[in-house]
Amino acid sequence: MTSTTLLLIIGAILIALAVAMFQYFYKAAYKTKRNKVYALFRFFTVFGLLLLLINPKYKQQTLYTEKPSLAIAVDNSASIRHLKYDERVKDAFIRFRESKNLNDAFDIQYFGFGTELTTLDSLDFSERQTNIASVFSSLTSLYRNDIAPVVLLSDGNQTFGEAFEYTSKNFAQNVYPVVVGDTLVYDDLIVGQVNVNRYAYINNKFPVEVFTNYNGAREVSSRLTIRSGNSIVYQQNIRFSDQKKSQIITALIPANNVGVRQFSVSLQPIENERNKKNNSKNFAVEVIDQKTNVLIISDITHPDIGMLKKSIESNRLRTVTFSKPTAAINKLNDYQLIVLYQPNGLFQPIYRELETLGKNSITITGPKTDWNILNQLQSEVYHEVTNQEEDIQGVSNPNFSTFVLNDINFSDFPPLKTNFGDITLKTEADIALYQKIGTIQTEAPLLVTTDQNGKRGIFIFGEGLWKWRAQSYVDTRSFESFDNFIDNLIQYAASNKRKSRLNLDYDSFYYGNGSVKLYAQYFDKNYVFDNRAALTIKVVNKETEAVYDAPFLLQRNAYEIDLSNLTPGDYSFTVTVQNQGLARSGSFTIVPFEVEQQFLNANKVALAKVAKNTDGSLYTISKIDQLITSLLEDTRYKPVQKSTENVVPLIDWKWLLGVLALLLAIEWFMRKYNGLT
């Protein structure tokens, strides 16, 4: 309480006392013993009113007890059911939930994980892949400032993601792994990872890299075979021993037929081998007879150029060649797409030849661009010439409808360098990204697509795209999302297809352990994206003739459907726009890939490393009661008494108004009762 407030309270006391004395002693016509009581009531009433006007503040301290948190993460992947431990995991889950002592001592949250960590209500062991490392990354952000030991029920078999036994070293909480599965080691041959390009070219040979492993101590021999249907396309005898437990086999497979070709790679089982499902794997390759050749023309050296090559060639259907403007004029017709990087006066013959050939192009501008020349060389855009630079970021346009363009967090990417000045679009154009300067989003375009009489173009008004690819990797630990963004630009610009009102975006094949998603775009008669349409798909299994019908869901500027529930096989489909008479058909293949059935034992070694790295303890699933007792007795996980201190104004005391009203009522009643006016 401040000295000013204290002086005001003292003043309020004096004023209230003076009012009471004046009314009941100085001014009163009749002085009785009751006047002292009346004066007392009047004093408290006036003082209370003045106190509310002063509204002093005071500190209020509240004590409370905070229980430590406990995270129970349960492996909900299909490998648990494959190891026949699903019922035992469910029993363990129930025992945690029904332990009264444990729930009294901890604030417990339950999670399930497969591809990612989610809150858990029930277990179905349907996850097709396992990423145990995601448990630690997700719980780190959730319990950043809390004491929160983690119980990890898992077989320790991870199918993708970072090596969890090493990522656990940076995990701040204690982890108690519970081993789910048989820990005995049996002789077992395993076809591990299979590396193969998604595309191959007709009449060529494509490489297949097969990682094979052996669990056991004796010397064994087997035969690795790669089949296409009933035909053997490659085979090799291999030997394993206690000293030679893994081998990498590289095979060259001929691509003789165009289309999606399915293959299986298998190891001949050894004597008394228990798990034979992990002896084989399926893979697929799309054999094509065409390739997109991209020419990047630039008169300067810049990191963007090398980045573009890396990103474009991440799709095996693309090849990139570099050229100076003076050397490119005679070979433009050898390429399906031309990328013009920061054009200047040397690009004049290039633009004239592109106009003659009707070639599509992508133009990337920046501070080194000569807009005095470029404004004359093309008729799609006009940029005000100021000879000044500025930093801009990108903001996705949700109404962009030329093709499906996912927002990969553009607004948080590092700024690009561009030329200061107004940009005027002189032809029909669709803005994909707007410019953002600082925190202000402008109407100026950063990325636009154009289409003039079938000639397609893309303009990107900024240099420094290499920073975007680097930031995308930092955010997602992968270049895939950014490379897909660039690939969409290349695919649009390299195509000369006529505009269609119904466009489909899908892959020719999918692996059974991943998501199967198809995208569609529907335009009205003015070729404006229509988000009110009703799109449906009819999928037919070519072998069983089973039919699956479902509607598409609207997602931003495209329609999407998830068909991950379909079983492996060959499918044909038809997408229909209801009440419009528009339909498109296609086909795809789902390749069998049961990665969760590749395991025979629990990975006890990796789980033990997690316990050691986090100062926890390792338990088997038969010792759940011992784990619960250990958690209850551990002095690190005791409830903590905490206090909060709040500054509360007196006016928040609502009951004080009631007291004042009561004092006035009593005073009035006593005066009336004794005949005073």
Q: DSSP characters for 326-370?
A: HHHTTSGGG-SEEEEES--GGGHHHHHHHHHHT--EEEEE-TT--
**Do 495 and 455 touch, CB atoms closer than 8 A?**
no
Q: H or E segment at 82?
A: helix 78-82
In this structure, the answer to whether residues 535 and 627 fall within a common structural domain is no
- Closest to 53 in 3D by CA, of 20, 90, 16, 28: 16
Spans of the chain below 70 pLDDT: 1, 26-33, 58-61, 63-64, 185, 497-499, 526-527, 596-598, 641-643, 645, 648, 650-654, 672-677
What pLDDT was estimated at residue 65? 73
In this structure, the answer to whether residues 297 and 436 fall within a common structural domain is yes
In this structure, the answer to whether residues 566 and 627 fall within a common structural domain is no
**Do 60 and 645 touch, CB atoms closer than 8 A?**
yes
- Closest to 460 in 3D by CA, of 501, 498, 490, 483: 490
In this structure, the answer to whether residues 469 and 526 fall within a common structural domain is no
- By CB atoms closer than 10 A (0-12, 13-18, 19+), residue 243 is exposed
In this structure, the answer to whether residues 326 and 449 fall within a common structural domain is yes
- Nearest-angstrom CA–CA distance, 484 and 395: 18
In this structure, the answer to whether residues 157 and 207 fall within a common structural domain is no
Residue 264 belongs to domain with CATH number = 2.60.40.10
In this structure, the answer to whether residues 259 and 321 fall within a common structural domain is no
What domain range is 43 assigned to? 3-63+645-673
- Mean residue pLDDT across the chain: 85
What pLDDT was estimated at residue 592? 82
Residue 330 belongs to domain with CATH number = 3.40.50.880
**Do 541 and 571 touch, CB atoms closer than 8 A?**
yes
Residue 621 structure tokens? 């699933």
- Which of 494, 529, 553 delimits the end of a domain? 494
In this structure, the answer to whether residues 110 and 217 fall within a common structural domain is no
In this structure, the answer to whether residues 470 and 419 fall within a common structural domain is yes
In this structure, the answer to whether residues 620 and 530 fall within a common structural domain is no
**Do 189 and 267 touch, CB atoms closer than 8 A?**
yes
Q: How many CA atoms lie within 13 A of 604 on its CB side?
A: 13
What pLDDT was estimated at residue 71? 94
- Which of 288, 320, 341 delimits the end of a domain? 288
- Nearest-angstrom CA–CA distance, 191 and 280: 6
In this structure, the answer to whether residues 466 and 569 fall within a common structural domain is no
- Nearest-angstrom CA–CA distance, 184 and 523: 60
Measure the CA angle with vertex 619, ends 615 and 620; round to 5°. 160
What pLDDT was estimated at residue 596? 66
What pLDDT was estimated at residue 497? 65
- By CB atoms closer than 10 A (0-12, 13-18, 19+), residue 654 is exposed
Handedness of CA 368, 369, 370, 372 (dihedral sign): negative
Residue 89 belongs to domain with CATH number = 3.40.50.410
Measure the CA angle with vertex 255, ends 205 and 227; round to 5°. 100
- Which of 219, 254, 288 delimits the end of a domain? 288
- Nearest-angstrom CA–CA distance, 88 and 96: 13
- Nearest-angstrom CA–CA distance, 91 and 633: 23
Number of independent structural domains in the chain: 5
What pLDDT was estimated at residue 53? 76
What pLDDT was estimated at residue 646? 72
What pLDDT was estimated at residue 103? 92
In this structure, the answer to whether residues 322 and 462 fall within a common structural domain is yes
Amino acid at position 343, single letter: P
- Closest to 360 in 3D by CA, of 383, 341, 384, 333: 333
Contacts of 675 (CB under 8 A, 6+ apart): none
Instruction: Write the DSSP symbol of residue 499.
Output: P
- Nearest-angstrom CA–CA distance, 368 and 298: 11
